[in-house]
Every structure is written in structure tokens, then in C-alpha cells.
Structure 1
Amino acid sequence: MRILVLGGTIFLSAEIVRQALAAGHQVTCLARGTPAAPPDGATWLHTDRSQGTAAYSAASGGGWDAVIDVSRDPGQAREALEALAGSARHWTFVSSCSVYADHSMAGAAEDAGVLAPLPPGSELSAGNYGEAKSAIEHWTTELAGDKAHLCRAGLIGGPGDGSDRYGYWPARFARDSDPVLVPDIPTDSTQIIDVRDLAAWILTAAGNGTTGALNAVGEPVPFAAYLEESRQLADGYGEVVAAPEDWLASHGANYWAGPDSLPLWLPPGHEGFATRSSAAARAAGLRTRAWMDTLQDTLADERRRGLGRERKAGMSPVTERRILSEYRAAVAAGAG
């Protein structure tokens, strides 16, 4: 296939390019190249998508077998569609399960309701990520029509994950033997898809002409099982201290991601967030490796990047020690 990747320099988009090149496809990346260049072997169109429709002039009329866009900017996504969708055989938009309006129902599938699209001209933020992706889904359906694949990815993990979420816990156990603070959520679900499996699925779907909205997620895994596997892989032997959710939330521990967070701990109302159904995608060809293999490779990547580095997600040692001390004092006083 002749494949155009709008991006191709970071994590998922770079993995798509690597796998496509390894499979013998001709790959072109349209990207600024900040902070990285596309993988060797790809043709690179140095372009800044903030320039508007002119950014796609070098790629227009390319007769692409597949175009793959990972954007979260509705304006840029619409401009790309207007410039390129007419001449593309297949169009993949890498969306997100964050487009769903309700995250409380376990096992929900693609027929669940989605968020209203982000209004044009709105400033992008972490808080409207789902609405932005919903807006791009709208434009992709509108302009690419029946050749569009809306790949609704769940949390993406694996080597190279710059979000630092899935790798926090194995890295934490491997870092030292100090007590490890965890949320007391043993039966809550975790759910990730390995970046390598997601990239392979996107290319498989493009090759097969798969279309429509499909959840690309892994199997749900109880937090307790994920945590224990993390500890064993890291040869961790420090004490594990499980604190109640409401106590953690009121003492400076943050949900899910970001500074001083306890990754994969979801806020109230998200009981179904990590249990999305992938049945439709699996029927269409999605294949995922065992989650333990992803976790093992993630820990190896964490060791390579440095266990003591500053992280985008996870609790700092200083904050962890403070909260642990406060929690032990509360338990001793009978208030824990």
C-alpha cells in the first residue's frame, strides 16, 4: 500500500510507520518533525499543519491507499480531510474511548452515546479532549464517508509510552524497597492496548478496507492482578499500603494521570471506563498479546529510561512519603 501518515514521529504514529515499512509498504509522513523525525525509510514531507490547507499541498493528488490521522485538533483534521479524503481509498482516524459520554456502564460497546463535538474555534485543553475527538469523528464521517475507520483506542501502553501511566506501578516496585502506597481498589478494572498491537490493527484494518467505529482495547484486568504482576516482575519486596479512595482523594493524591497521581485509579463515575467491549474489532481482525507480556516489556523500557526520572504521571517520592505518614497516623488514631 501507499500510506500517508499525518504524523509519524511519536509513539503510536511512529510505530505504525515502523510496522508498515517492515511489511514492505511505501510510507510518507507529513509532519513538522518536532521533537523527532519519522523512522528511517519513510518519505518525509516537512509540514506544519497549523498553516491550514496549504500544509497538505505536497500530499494532495497522491492517490493514497490509506491515510492515517492521529490528530486531536478538529480544525487541522477537517483541513486534512478536505484536502485529501477525496483521493484516498481508506481513511483511518485514531480516535479515543474518551468520546463516550457515559463511562459508568461495564462492557459498553460502540453503540453507546458519544459527547457533543467541540464547537469550532474552542481552545483545546485536557478537559475537552473527548469533545475534540468527537468533533474529528464527525468531520471524518462527514468528509470521508463510507471509507472511514474510526479507531476508538483505549489507554495505550507498551514501550515508548510518554504518558508514564501504565509503567508507573512496575517502575515504582522496582525503584526501591520503601513502602508503596496504593489505592484500595482490588476489583476495579484496568484495560490497555499494547501500542504494537494497536499499530498492527490499524494497518490490518486499512488493508482490509475495514470501516466504521470500532473499540480498540485490550482485555479487562483486575487492578489487584495487575499490581501483583507488577510487583513480581520488579522483584519488589517493599510493604504495600492500601488506603481508601476517599481518604486518598482528600489528602493530595490525584486520580488517573498527571503529577502526584496514582495511575489507573479512576474517579467516581468511571466504573466502566476500563471495561469497554472490543468484540466488534476482534471479529474484524484485532489481535492483542497477553497483558503480562506488555507489562514485562514496559518495565524493561522503564528501566532503560530511568526509574528515578521525573514522570508525567505518578506520585513523587516526597508526596508518597508524606501521605503514607499521614495515613499511618490516621489509622493509629482510629480515623483511617
Structure 2
Amino acid sequence: MTDVLVLGGTGWLSGRIAERWTDAGAAVTCLARGGREAPYGATLVVGDRDADDAYAPVGSRDWDEIVDVSSNPAHVASALDALADRTRHWTYISTLSVYATNDEPGADESADLLVLGDPGAEEDYGRAKVRAEASVRESLGFRAAIVRPGLIVGPGDPTDRFGYWVGRFALAADAEVLTPQATDRGAQVIDVDDLADFVQAIGRERWTGVVNAVGDPVDLDRLLADAREVAGHTGSVVPADDAWLESHGVAYWMGPRSLPLWLPADMPGFWTRSNTAYRLLGGRLRPVRDTLARTLADERERGLDRERRAGLTRDEERELLRDLLA
């Protein structure tokens, strides 16, 4: 039997990866802080990765596969110190945010990475993942796969970004919805279940290397039109240009008072990364409309008018629309 250790395994992506391994007949152990259950069929080992003995319960045996999703370089380094010699293969889930620039359309895995500062200095998300990747390569060499997803989407998304649009169109029904000007803008997403399938598959084959796990580039106006159609929205779509939105305190991409997925015009490379390697490795990309439909069902279950981590509240949107249409 294949023995798999998922460092995490109770979160959104890591839980799905653990599920894929249990579905494949593996004996799966999840090392996590506790508070959430491990997927059905997996064993939960409670451990705090800040503790010196965090890996003691899982460090005295051998593993066929270890998966880590952490963005904390210290956690990644300590896991490698404790477990690198105990596994046949390691998969580290990184991010497209490791790349130094986002202005080159079609850039592949060979593109330059962000430059690291002094060890111990506070680092942003991208640099933290760069440092973690470096630890993986140094410790494991040709026994590791580094997977760099773009925007992960689908049911259960804790960031609330992708689901904002299909949820907002559904909530608005026959009323107006505010959007950014979408010309020459786009998005590049990957369904969480497609990504989990891929991570399990390359772990099973013990593939080594670096791969961008991203979908095909989609024009933002096409994505918004699909979201609107899936949601059954019959009201007007009211676009605003960048300058107007910025002047009214609307943020790009994510977070409160934002329009999710909207990017500055000088970042075409962010949504056009090469996914050639992913496809050559057999990575699946389901139609975006399928993901939108699954996401809408999840948004309805969670509440279309709930408090969100990304996007405008409906009241904020109405106020902006009044100003824009005045």
C-alpha cells in the first residue's frame, strides 16, 4: 500500500489532495493543528508546526509521498529537516506569485523569480514561497515536484474571489451590476478539483521538476458574460474604467471593497502564463462554465448576501452605481 503524508490535509486544497489519495487506495495521514476533521478514510495526527517536536509522530517511519502546501518558509524548512530522508517523493505546492515580473505574455517555468532579501526579514507571500521552493530543491533535489498554481477556484473557495461574480449576478437578478472595463483584461484559473487530481497523479508517478498548474487564458469580458449567463442575470451590466474605480476607492484583484479578478492594465503576463508543461503531463482543465455552475451552487448554499472576504458589499455597489449613473 502507498503511504502518503499530507502536511495539512484538512484545508480547502490539501483536504482534496488527501481525498484523491484515499480514493486511490493509499494510506493517508494528515498532520494538522486540529479543529477540523481529516477527509474520510485519512488519519489525523494533531501537530503544531511551530513546535520543535511537530514531526515526531510522523518522523519515525518511511513515506512514499509527502505533500506540503505551507507558505511559511520556516515550516517548510523544518519539515524537510525532519522528513526529507524518510520519503521517496515530495510535492510542494507553490504559486505563480514567485515570478519577478508579470509583463511578459506566455512566460513559462524558466522565468525569473523574485529576489530574496536577507534571511529573517519579513517577506511577502511570493518571496516566502520562493524561499520555501529553495529549501525543497536544496534538500530533495531530483526527488521533488514543485507545482505553481495560479488562481485556484471552485466550490468552497475561502478567498471569495472567483465566486464573487457568479454570486453577484445571481444576487442582483434583474438589477444593475458594476463591472470593470474588461477590454484587454483576462483571468487564468484552475479548478480546485483539477489541481488535486494533478497533484495526486504526479505524486503517484514520482514526477520531478517545476510546473505551472494553470488554466487557459480567458478574456475577462468572456468570463463575466459566462458568469452572468450561468447565474441567469437579466439586469444591466454597468462598466467603469480604471481611473473612476481607483478614484472611488475600489481595489484590484481581491480583498474588501474590490472587484475580484480585475487587474491593472500593465500585468498581461499574470493571466497568460504558459500551461504547456501542465497539459503535457496530463493535467485536466474542465470548462470554465462547469466550474462557474459548481461555484454558483456553492455560493447559494453559503448565502449570496453573506459577508465576503473579497468584493463589494451590495450596498457599496449600489452607492457606486448611483455615483456612476448620476
Please report the TM-score for the alignment, with normalisation by the length of structure 2: 0.97
Map Cα deviations across residues 85-131 of structure 1 (whole Å, 9 max, x no partner). Answer: 1111111110000000001111110010001235433346xxx1000
- Classify 1:119/1:80 alpha carbon distance in 2 versus 1 (closer, same or farther; 3 Å): farther
Distance in structure 1 (CA, Å) of the matches to 2:106 and 2:325: 37
Q: Give 1:245's aligned residue.
A: 242
Verify: 1:142 aligned to 2:143, yes or no.
no
Task: Return the match for 1:153 from 146, 149, 152.
Answer: 149
Distance in structure 2 (CA, Å) of the matches to 1:300 and 1:194: 15
Question: What pairs with 1:142-181 in structure 2 (closer than 5 Å)?
Answer: 142-176=138-172, 177-181=174-178
* AA in 2 matched with 1:92: T
Q: Secondary structure at the match of 2:92?
A: strand
Distance in structure 2 (CA, Å) of the matches to 1:296 and 1:155: 17
Q: Secondary structure at the match of 2:290?
A: helix
Deviation at 1:209, TM superposition (A): 1.3
Q: Give 2:97's aligned residue.
A: 98
Deviation at 1:268, TM superposition (A): 4.2
Map Cα deviations across residues 278-301 of structure 1 (whole Å, 9 max, x no partner). Answer: 101211221221111111101111
Deviation at 1:214, TM superposition (A): 0.5
- Classify 1:165/1:118 alpha carbon distance in 2 versus 1 (closer, same or farther; 3 Å): farther
Deviation at 1:78, TM superposition (A): 0.1
Map Cα deviations across residues 38-73 of structure 1 (whole Å, 9 max, x no partner). Answer: 112111111000113x10111113211110000000
Distance in structure 2 (CA, Å) of the matches to 1:321 and 1:292: 27
Q: Give 2:318's aligned residue.
A: 321
Q: Give 1:60's aligned residue.
A: 59
Q: Secondary structure at the match of 1:229?
A: helix
Kept in 1, the 8 Å contact 2:4–2:66? The answer is yes
Distance in structure 1 (CA, Å) of the matches to 2:118 and 2:253: 26
Equivalent pairs, count: 324
What 5-or-longer segments of structure 2 have no aligned partner?
Answer: none
Distance in structure 2 (CA, Å) of the matches to 1:118 and 1:298: 39
Question: What pairs with 1:92-241 in structure 2 (closer than 5 Å)?
Answer: 92-117=91-116, 119-123=118-122, 128-176=124-172, 177-241=174-238
Distance in structure 2 (CA, Å) of the matches to 1:285 and 1:115: 28
- Classify 1:118/1:311 alpha carbon distance in 2 versus 1 (closer, same or farther; 3 Å): farther
Map Cα deviations across residues 236-266 of structure 1 (whole Å, 9 max, x no partner). Answer: 0111001111111111111000001100001
* AA in 1 matched with 2:39: P
* AA in 1 matched with 2:250: A
* AA in 1 matched with 2:298: D
* AA in 1 matched with 2:106: G
Verify: 1:280 aligned to 2:277, yes or no.
yes
Q: Secondary structure at the match of 1:58?
A: helix
Q: Give 1:13's aligned residue.
A: 14
Q: What RMSD over aligned residues (CA atoms) do the two structures have, in Å? A: 1.2
* AA in 2 matched with 1:309: R
Deviation at 1:224, TM superposition (A): 1.0
- Classify 1:135/1:279 alpha carbon distance in 2 versus 1 (closer, same or farther; 3 Å): same
Distance in structure 2 (CA, Å) of the matches to 1:279 and 1:119: 34
Kept in 2, the 8 Å contact 1:118–1:132? The answer is no
Verify: 1:42 aligned to 2:42, yes or no.
yes
Please report the TM-score for the alignment, with normalisation by the length of structure 1: 0.94
Map Cα deviations across residues 132-151 of structure 1 (whole Å, 9 max, x no partner). Answer: 00000000000111111110
What 5-or-longer segments of structure 1 have no aligned partner?
Answer: 330-336
Distance in structure 2 (CA, Å) of the matches to 1:186 and 1:108: 21
Kept in 1, the 8 Å contact 2:185–2:265? The answer is no
Deviation at 1:270, TM superposition (A): 1.7
- Classify 1:170/1:118 alpha carbon distance in 2 versus 1 (closer, same or farther; 3 Å): farther
* AA in 2 matched with 1:258: G
Map Cα deviations across residues 203-222 of structure 1 (whole Å, 9 max, x no partner). Answer: 10011111111000011111
